[in-house]
Amino acid sequence: MIQPFSENVLSSRQQTQWIVELRDVHYSIGNREIFSGLTLTIPRGRITAIMGPSGTGKTTLLRLITGQIKPDSGQVLFDGIDVSNLSLRELYALRLRMGMLFQNGALLTDMTVFENVAFPLREHTKLPHSLIRHIVLTKLQAVGLRGAAQLMPAELSGGMARRVALARAMATDPDVLIYDEPFTGLDPISMGMIVRLVRQMNNALGITSIVVSHDVEELAALADMSFILAGGKVAAQGTFNELKGHDSQIVHQFMNGLADGPVAFHYPAPEYFEQLLA
């Protein structure tokens, strides 16, 4: 539907079965190393879950994949294209093929819900108003918020904002949808609805989904493939059943929500006792 750029970055190559490949990626913020040799591949046309304890860098991983940040070393390939070597123009062209759902929705606060969903269409296409209206209402209907079209983002609850953001991410019919924590703060009904929606889009349109979440239960029903990140690397990967049976302690701890185990609950800190005495 969208053809603003002519670069071949735009056309899906369908060469490999991997839509995203990370090869030996290192990334640090300041002195803190977030990734130390991260290697993972995300299959095309599937639903992939990225899990891991809070602060391991799941959001950072998404920012790497979408080219918002560049790795210190290593390669990030999106559909075979090295994301970190693109010019801004090429990067924007590539991003037309991705839809991203931010952790807090990130709706544009000076526009109505309707205008938010229409935003990418208005920016990138010259579609007539009636058609844009039709697309926007269809997408809003899919997330159950057609009735909220004229509300401002400030009038929405957190969960509603997330659903509008999902409608907006779907507006341009991207090849890949990336979700950062889509389930947190949703009631079970909307959660189930989003799970069904993600599944539907995957089945009907073959959209690749990358879902970051802590929600082990929801992901079990949803994901074809899962990764658990810990300590700057992939701690485990596989289907859900494979992970359930995984023998490493980290995976066991994470899948069962145990406080004790190799994953520290605490952010790195000096010895507690010493700090209290100091």
Partner 1 sequence: MKLLRELGDNLRSFVVTVGAVSLFFGRVLGQIPRAMLRPRFVIEQIFNAGALSLVIIMTCGLFVGMVLGLQGYDLLQRFGSEDALGTGAALALIKELGPVVTALLFAGRAGTALASEIGLMRATDQLAAMEMMAVDPIRRVVAPRFIGGVIAMPLLTVIFVSIGIFGVQLIGVQQLGVDAAAFWSQMRSSVGVDDVMEGVIKGCVFGVACSLVAVYEGYTAVPTAEGVGRATTRTVVTSAVLTLILDYMLTALML
Ligand X SMILES: Nc1ncnc2c1ncn2[C@@H]1O[C@H](COP(=O)(O)OP(=O)(O)OP(=O)(O)O)[C@@H](O)[C@H]1O
Q: Residue 13: which residues within 8 A CB-CB, separation 6 or more?
A: 79, 80
Nearest C-alpha neighbor of 86 from the set 101, 104, 98:
98
Window 60-119: residues binding ligand X (CB under 6 A): 60
Q: Could you tell me how many residues of this chain bind Mg ion (CB under 5 A)?
A: 1
Q: Residue 201: which residues within 8 A CB-CB, separation 6 or more?
A: 170, 177, 207, 209
Task: Pick the binder of Mg ion from 39, 59, 84, 184 (CB under 5 A).
Answer: 59
Q: Is 6 in the site for ligand X (CB under 6 A)?
A: no
Task: Pick the binder of partner 1 from 7, 23, 39, 92 (CB under 8 A).
Answer: 92
For residues 208 and 46, the answer to whether their CB atoms sit within 8 Å is yes
For residues 79 and 70, the answer to whether their CB atoms sit within 8 Å is no
Window 113-172: residues binding partner 1 (CB under 8 A): 119-120, 123-124, 165, 168, 172
Q: Is 66 in the site for partner 1 (CB under 8 A)?
A: yes
Task: Pick the binder of ligand X from 56, 116, 172, 208 (CB under 6 A).
Answer: 56
Task: Pick the binder of ligand X from 4, 55, 206, 245 (CB under 6 A).
Answer: 55
Of 59 and 75, CB closest to Mg ion: 59
Q: Is 264 in the site for ligand X (CB under 6 A)?
A: no
**Is the C-alpha dihedral spanning 72, 75, 79, 82 positive or negative?**
positive
Nearest C-alpha neighbor of 82 from the set 8, 1, 145, 22:
22
| Interface mask toward Mg ion for 128-157; x: CB under 5 A | ------------------------------
Q: How far is CA 206 from CA 96, 198, 243, in A?
A: 17, 11, 25
Beta bridge partners of 211: 49, 179
66 binds, among ligand X, partner 1, Mg ion, none (CB under 5 to 8 A by kind): partner 1
In the complex, the residues that contact Mg ion under the rule CB under 5 A are: 59
Residues that bind ligand X (CB under 6 A): 29, 34, 52, 54-60
